[in-house]
Structure 1
Amino acid sequence: MGSGNGSNPLVRIERGNGIAVITLSDPEKGNALSVGMAEALLRRVDDAANDSAIRSVLLTAEGRFFCVGGDVRSIGAAGEDVGALLDRITAPLHSAIEMLLYMDKPLVVAVNGPVAGGGLGLAAAGDIVLASDTAHFSMAYAGIGFSPDGAATWLLPRLIGLRRTQELAYTNRRLTSVEAATLGLVTRSVPNADLRCEAREMAEQLARGPLGAFAATRRLLLSSDCASPHAQMELEARSVRAQATGMEGLEGVSAFLEKRQPKFRVAAMPDEPADGPIGN
């Protein structure tokens, strides 16, 4: 396990009440994406994605920044080995983002501060993205002569459109938290003091929801840009039929007709976290 200072992990995970909270934890370096950070992130995401007790994931960061992007000092010091170094960063980072996008559980992202470069893809990958009013967003790549990574060129055109993405990529224009919400890069901007509480409440709400339906919805949304309307509706028809005949659909309809709240969690979850309290 990579570490920040002494034995402190670069990425923490805390589990409790069906939620996994993954926290980038190298605040002194702005949670920069070093090799160690990217590898630790992948391990933690894999832990959460493959834990059957986890029903939703909350991704956030410690300190003033959410993620400043790549560790430019390390990149600059790599000299002729910079290509190999970038491979060692992007391979686990991209695997982690892909897992976050395709896992069968919803993802909430709490953006606690400024975001740049590869951190932008991490922030944008959430199903629900809450951004502190102290946060701001920039692609930053052009400033050091790089092209984007971290799924930014796939996520941003889908979220805010090609024209806006081109402007951000070529000019490095910085978006405030409110602007990011207005454009659709994040779900909403919230006061910094309320961020952790609202993000946790959202993750808990999703953890109580129909996990199978959420997973099916995620798959449908990911396929929607490359399928024809006919093909997408075929996928929708098969998916809704499977949900309607499954335990979640049967419970949901019964609860609606009986005018009660549905109980989608088929197994009792522990009340106490396995690895300590959630959040800070």
Structure 2
Amino acid sequence: MYETIAFEIRDCVARLTFNRPDRLNSFTAAMHGEVADALSRVATSGEARALLITGAGRGFCAGQDLNDRAVAPGGAPVDLGDSVERFYNPLIRRLTSLDMPVICAVNGVAAGAGANIALACDIVIAARSAKFIQSFAAIGLIPDTGGTWILPRLIGQARALGLALTGEPLGAEQAEAWGLIWKCVDDDQLQAEAEALAARFAAGPTRGLAATKHALRGSGLKSLDQELDNERDLMRALGTSADYREGVAAFLEKRRPSFTGQ
């Protein structure tokens, strides 16, 4: 069905793989369309309770394929703002608003928009050989795809400015030490680690996990009083869920819970 990505939903886990390995999985307009369609299926099918994203071949994603937007029809300059508004901004909004955990397994270089797509996911696991590169400055641009928002919140302004202005690669081990990603693992363990985490989330209390994700992502925009009220409201709603009842029953009965995501 797709030409630039691989996609399946199996065992309540949606797996989306960027699949242009000859171009380091860099994005074209066609690829954006396919990714958007796949994410729509994830959100609406009712089959998925976790999403796992990775890249095919030796890299995760090199960002934008510059050959795909070198010039506009007639030779006029491309409106990069239009490209961001049509493609990259909706992608980040879809990823961050999904009502399930989103795991990213970074299997190699994540550069430009590719780095910021990875960092927009809820949990990032990277192979030890992976590198994160904010490559925008080398062509006179800014970190888009949420980069200017994500980076300082994850690692602080000084490190964010250093990465953005120099474009120097950041290895996975250092990214973990800085708190940019969740975990760095040996290359041959990446897929197993990511799959195990996806399976764990897919069998978990989906409503509670989604509420946790949204509360943490949105808390920086609220005062403490506002967030305390939000916590109250979320706890009130989750306290009526089937998964909460099952979790409590399993705890009292000293057994493994069987969550349904409801």
Q: TM class by shorter-chain length? A: over 0.9
Structure 1: runs of 5+ lacking an equivalent: 2-7, 268-280
Aligned residue number for residue 202 of structure 1: 197
Q: Deviations over 1:104-139 (max 9, x none)?
A: 111110001101110112111222211011110111
Aligned match of 1:44: 38
Do 1:131 and 1:188's aligned partners in 2 also have CA atoms closer than 8 Å?
Answer: yes
Where does residue 97 of structure 1 map in the other structure? 92
Decide which of 73, 77, 82 is 2:78's aligned counterpart: 82
Note closer, same or farther for the CA distance 1:263–1:26 as it changes in structure 2 (3 Å cut): same
Match of 1:125 in 2: 120
Q: Could you tell me how far 1:81 is from its partner in structure 2?
A: 3.6
1:166-217, Cα deviation, whole Å (9 max, x unpaired): 1111111210010111111111111111111111111000001000001111
Alignment-derived partner of residue 49 in structure 2: 55
* Shift, 1:95, TM fit: 1.1
The reply on whether 1:31 has 2:25 as its aligned counterpart is: yes
Shift of 1:56: 0.4
Match of 2:190, SS state, is helix
Q: What is the aligned-residue RMSD (CA, Å)?
A: 1.7
The answer to which of 138-147 and 35-44 deviates more is 35-44
Residue 61 of structure 1, CA deviation: 0.7
Q: Deviations over 1:199-239 (max 9, x none)?
A: 11110000010000011111211211110001001100111
The answer to whether structure 1 residue 259 and structure 2 residue 250 are counterparts is no
Q: Secondary structure at the match of 1:82?
A: coil
Confirm or deny: 8 A CA contact 1:38 1:89 kept in the other structure: no
Aligned-partner Cα distance in 2 for 1:89–1:224 = 26
Q: In structure 2, what is the Cα distance between the partners aligned to 1:263 and 1:92? A: 38
Q: Which moved more, 1:100-109 or 1:121-130?
A: 121-130
TM-score, normalising length from structure 2? Answer: 0.94
Q: 2:135 aligns with which of 140, 144, 159?
A: 140
Within the candidate set 218, 221, 228, 2:216 is matched to 221
The one-letter code sitting in structure 2 at the alignment partner of 1:26 is R
Counterpart of 1:247? 242
TM-score, normalised to structure 1's length? 0.88
Structure 1 residues 266 and 219: alpha-carbon distance in aligned structure 2, compared to 1, 3 A threshold: closer
Shift of 1:27: 0.6
User: 2-side partners of 1:144 and 1:215: how far apart?
Assistant: 37
Larger RCO (alpha carbons 8 Å, 6+ apart): 1
DSSP-derived class of the 2:149 partner: helix
2-structure distance, mates of 1:62, 1:35: 18
Quote how far apart the aligned CAs of 1:77 are: 4.4
Pairing partner for 1:189 from 165, 184, 191: 184
Q: 1:25, 1:16 → 2: CA distance?
A: 19
Q: Which amino acid aligns with 1:206?
A: F
Q: Is the 8 A contact 2:204 2:261 kept in 1?
A: no
- Equivalent runs, 1:152-163 vs 2, <5 Å: 152-163=147-158
CA distance in structure 2 between the partners assigned to 1:139 and 1:75 by the alignment: 19
Counterparts of 1:44 and 1:191 in 2: how far apart (Å)? 29
Question: Structure 1 residue 157: deviation in Å?
Answer: 1.6
For 2:177 and 2:149, how far apart are their aligned partners in 1?
19
What amino acid does structure 2 have at the position aligned with 1:40?
A: E
Q: Contact 2:246/2:258 (CA < 8 Å) preserved in 1? A: yes
| Percentage identity across paired residues of the two chains | 35
3-state SS of paired residue (1:31): coil
Change (3 A) 1:141 1:266: closer
Match of 1:64 among 58, 63, 76: 58
- Equivalent residue, structure 1, for 2:165: 170
